[in-house]
Amino acid sequence: MVACTGETDAQGQAPESGQPVRVAAVSDGKPPVRLRLPGVTRAVQRADLAFLHSGQLAERLVRRGEKVSAGQALAILHNPSLMPGVSGAEARVRELDEQLQQLERETQRLTNLHERDLVSTDELDRVRAQRNAARQARSQAQARLEEAREQLAEATIRAPFPGRVAALPVEPGHFVSPGQTIVSISSPERLEVAVDLSARQAQSLIAGQSALVRRLNGGPQLTGTIREIGLPAPGQPATAVIELPETDWPEWSPGQAVHVELAWTNGEQLTVPLDALIDTGDGLPHVFRVRGQLAELVSVVPGELDGAQVQVAGEIEPGDEVVIAGHGQLLDGERVRVLR
């Protein structure tokens, strides 16, 4: 017995039992998809200004590229029907003012006489009704005068915000229609870029996501933010608008060609090596997951193939170890030995 004990100690511990296997970890997704799209910078604050009435462009008060301030007059329209409308409305208000003053004096006179019982109540009520009707007519005439003045003021286009004149598509003397662009202005302080996306690409992006913007002729790059994503129409792409941060760099201005780099992931997709999938004969793919020193058979649903990896769905989690070698004769619940 002493000799046997010594021999066991000399040989050391017995080798580990279990089916030898090799394992790999379950991954939680594919690397981000990157896309580069062309675009052109434009001002966030921009406007195409037009008259609300038709007429002849009488005068342009600015030049292309000129700086303008908020409220500055930019163009004047000539419409013969606008000025007479104001003059007629002013004359009507003056006429009613005179009538109202006369009725006010007449009402006061009859009131004094009525207090001394020199006129009847019916006569006083009749004059009061005429005075009240004149007041209402004067209010309506004043409203028409204000409307005519507003229409006359609309014959002058004014800048809604400070910026620069971008375009002047109509020359003085030409007839213009309501809504036809006369002056285009933009504020170059804040820039944005619009890019076209397919329906699948638009669904992969979200508002607030960052995007890298580079100019084609080099120089510094900017990191913008996706402000909004449109919906695609039949046969038309979706439009994503990337807003750029404010910068003092003079090389960034509206109308520059740029490249926009977008990146996204295809959601939380679990992937395993293709070698981990086995067919147990029931027509459903499975993998062996190692828990402790035991192999557990887990059914999975395979998806898209990406090289040597395959997307799967099932009762597995990122970081789980699945058997990729040595599972030819492996049974569910069998003890395994992981080879490192």
Query: SS3 string of the chain?
Result: CHHHHHHHHHHCCCCCCCEEEEEEECECCCCCEEEEEEEEEEEEEEEEEECCCCEEEEEECCCCCCEECCCCEEEEEECCCHHHHHHHHHHHHHHHHHHHHHHHHHHHHHHHHHHCCCCCHHHHHHHHHHHHHHHHHHHHHHHHHHHHHHHHHCCEEECCCCEEEEECCCCCCCEECCCCEEEEEEEEEEEEEEEEECHHHHHHCCCCCEEEEEECCCCCCEEEEEEEECCCCCCCCEEEEEECCCCCCCCCCCCCEEEEEEEECCCCCEEEEHHHCEECCCCCEEEEEEECCEEEEEEEEEEEEECCEEEEEECCCCCCEEEEECCCCCCCCCEEEECC
Q: Check residue 3 and give its pLDDT.
A: 47
Q: What is the pTM of this model?
A: 0.54
User: pLDDT tens per residue, the chain (340 residues)?
Assistant: 444 444 444 444 445 578 898 999 988 766 667 889 999 999 999 999 999 889 999 999 999 999 999 999 999 998 887 767 778 888 889 999 999 999 999 999 999 988 888 888 998 899 999 999 999 999 998 998 888 888 777 889 999 999 999 999 999 999 999 999 999 999 888 899 999 998 888 888 889 999 999 998 877 889 999 999 998 888 889 999 999 998 777 788 888 899 999 987 666 678 889 999 998 877 788 999 999 889 999 998 888 777 788 888 888 888 899 999 988 888 889 999 888 7
Q: Which domains does the chain have, with CATH numbers?
A: 17-30+268-338 (2.40.420.20), 33-43+187-264 (2.40.30.170), 50-77+155-182 (2.40.50.100), 82-153 (1.10.287)
Pair of tokens at residue 88:
């007629």
pLDDT at 180: 94
Judged by DSSP in three states, 302 sits in strand
Residue with tokens 């960034």: 252
**Sign of the dihedral defined by the CA atoms of residues 78, 82, 84, 86, in that order:** negative
Q: How far is CA 225 from CA 33, 187, 211, in A?
A: 17, 19, 6
CA distance 88 to 280: 96
| Token pair for 197 | 């996306």
Structure tokens that stand for 326 in this block? 């040595």
Please name the residues in contact with 178: beta carbons below 8 A apart, sequence gap of 6 or more: 50, 51, 52, 53, 54
The CA-CA-CA angle for residues 214, 220, 223, to 5°, reads 60
Q: Which residues contact 175 (CB under 8 A, 6 or more apart)?
A: 54, 55, 56, 57
